[in-house]
Amino acid sequence: MKEIFNLISTYGFPMVLSIYLLVRFEPMLKELKKSVDTLIIINEMNKNDKNFKH
């Protein structure tokens, strides 16, 4: 029984912290991905405009 409590105290905190950070940062990462995708689309549109003018 003592070994189980030792395992929980050893690995429990890192697991809880990892889950908390994942839940906390997931919406921010999704928003960042959306922004990067938008920038890629805008960049491609600008490249196409430049190629079309020449």
pLDDT in tens, 8-41: 777 787 887 788 888 899 999 999 999 999 999 9
Q: Cα–Cα distance between 12 and 24 in angstroms, integer?
A: 18
Q: Which is more confidently placed, 47 or 52?
A: 47
pTM recorded for the entire structure: 0.58
Distance from C-alpha of 48 to C-alpha of 46, rounded to nearest angstrom: 5
DSSP 18-29: HHHHHHHHHHHH
